[in-house]
Amino acid sequence: MMSMTCHNLDFGTRVLDLVAVGSSSNSSIERHAVKNHGKTFATKIYGARRMVCCRQNVSRTRVFSTNTSEALLNGVGQRTAPVLDLKKETKSPISLANLFEVVAGDLQTLNQNLQSIVGAENPVLMSAAEQIFGAGGKRMRPALVFLVSRATAELVGLKDLTTKHRRLAEIIEMIHTASLIHDDVLDESDMRRGKETVHQLYGTRVAILAGDFMFAQSSWYLANLENLEVIKLISQVIKDFASGEIKQASSLFDCDVKLEDYLLKSYYKTASLIAASTKGAAIFSGVDSSVTEQMYEYGKNLGLSFQVVDDILDFTQSAEQLGKPAGSDLAKGNLTAPVIFALEKEPKLREIIESEFCETGSLDEAIELVKQCGGIERAQELAKEKADIAIKSLQCLPQSDFRLGLEDMVMFNLERID
């Protein structure tokens, strides 16, 4: 059995790893010294633990914890975890350009390789791949591979990335792209990132075949990495995609869905790939298993936080900002964190959802109820709790621009709802 399955894929008590975020330990970890050279510092108190934020070059933020908990890193505890509060800090927004600057060369090479790695022998499939590769993607997942690869390489004295690091990043982006093509078919989405989807342009048959082809091609390149641990790790991700879709389809318009179910589905659909990306990168650096596990925890909790933020934006942004209709998940019966929290306070919301929005204006009414009942605010707290755990998982890394980039990735995600 591969190591990642034991983290939180059980349906017994271990599923709580995805939910509980408290801390019951007072054990401390020595914090790396931070050199003061033209940086400004702000110290905040969160419960019994001090979080220190320091800013560098205006647009970047470091977050360190002077107290940590093994239970918190595993996602289990008795108390509510302190959360990051971006509103208390006056700072410039983190830009993706600055965030990825330290791996810009790696990403440029990846962009050059992506289309050629898909294969030129299938013109229609190539056209479909070009459509989504060129649709304004952030390349977040391969960037995480490069950041973790370089951050962990410093632990073992590697001077540069290996070819396996680079191929892993390409495989991860191919798998992500394939999943998006299939998601758009299942969700019947006509637009993604402001552009027409593959199935809208080429039809459902071509879209499904394009996604299948990219999954198969990525699997072939994965096998050629010849690392059984990574092969199992990434193969599990593809299985998780299907599990997530089945879990979502089986609970549409189900107002009794639990937060645990939502987080497990979010792990399958989003966090699993990110966690595998960061852990796989660390494995290829040759670091200790304790470090690879912390990189897994970082990716898992960043992925969960990222999904919660996406689900919040579905209620707070316009169709133009989202690149798809606002409230589209709720309209299809996919109940996300803001809805689950709001259902605890508003019985009328249940009536509207269970009617499947049969009356004119009922969807707009449901969206307003979610906002009025505090569903957005509670989901924001959940996203920040997961972000806090992700930040803490980076304490095993030495201070560097690459660790800073990983920290900034967490903060960038939260700034989307700040």
Q: What is the pLDDT of residues 63-104, one digit of tens each?
A: 433 333 333 334 433 334 444 554 444 457 777 778 889 999
Residue 202: pLDDT band with limits 50, 70, 90: confident
Cα→Cα distances 187→33, 180, 182, Å: 48, 10, 9
Residue 196: pLDDT band with limits 50, 70, 90: confident
Residue 286, pLDDT > 60, answer: yes
User: Which carries the bigger pLDDT value, residue 137 or residue 327?
Assistant: 327
- Which DSSP string do the residues of 334-385 spell out, in sequence order? ---HHHHHHHTT-HHHHHHHHTTS-STTHHHHHHHHHHHTTHHHHHHHHHHH
Spatial separation of the C-alpha atoms in residues 278 and 107, rounded to whole Å: 16
Spatial separation of the C-alpha atoms in residues 409 and 414, rounded to whole Å: 9
φ, ψ dihedrals at 327, nearest 5° = 70, 20
User: Which carries the bigger pLDDT value, residue 7 or residue 284?
Assistant: 284
Residue 365, pLDDT > 90, answer: yes
- Which DSSP string do the residues of 232-262 spell out, in sequence order? HHHHHHHHHHHHHHHHHHTTTT-TT--HHHH
Average pLDDT (311-324) is 81
**Cα 288 to chain center, whole Å?**
24
High-pLDDT (> 70) share of the chain, % = 71
Residue 39, pLDDT > 90, answer: no
Q: How many helices (H) and strands (E) are present in the chain, helices listed first?
A: 20, 5
SS3 content of the chain, % helix, strand, coil (to 5): 65, 5, 30
Give me the sheet containing 40-46, strands edge to edge: 40-46, 49-56, 60-65
Q: What is the pLDDT of residues 144-161, one digit of tens each?
A: 999 999 999 999 999 999
What's the pTM?
0.77
Average pLDDT (191-207) is 80
Spatial separation of the C-alpha atoms in residues 281 and 148, rounded to whole Å: 6
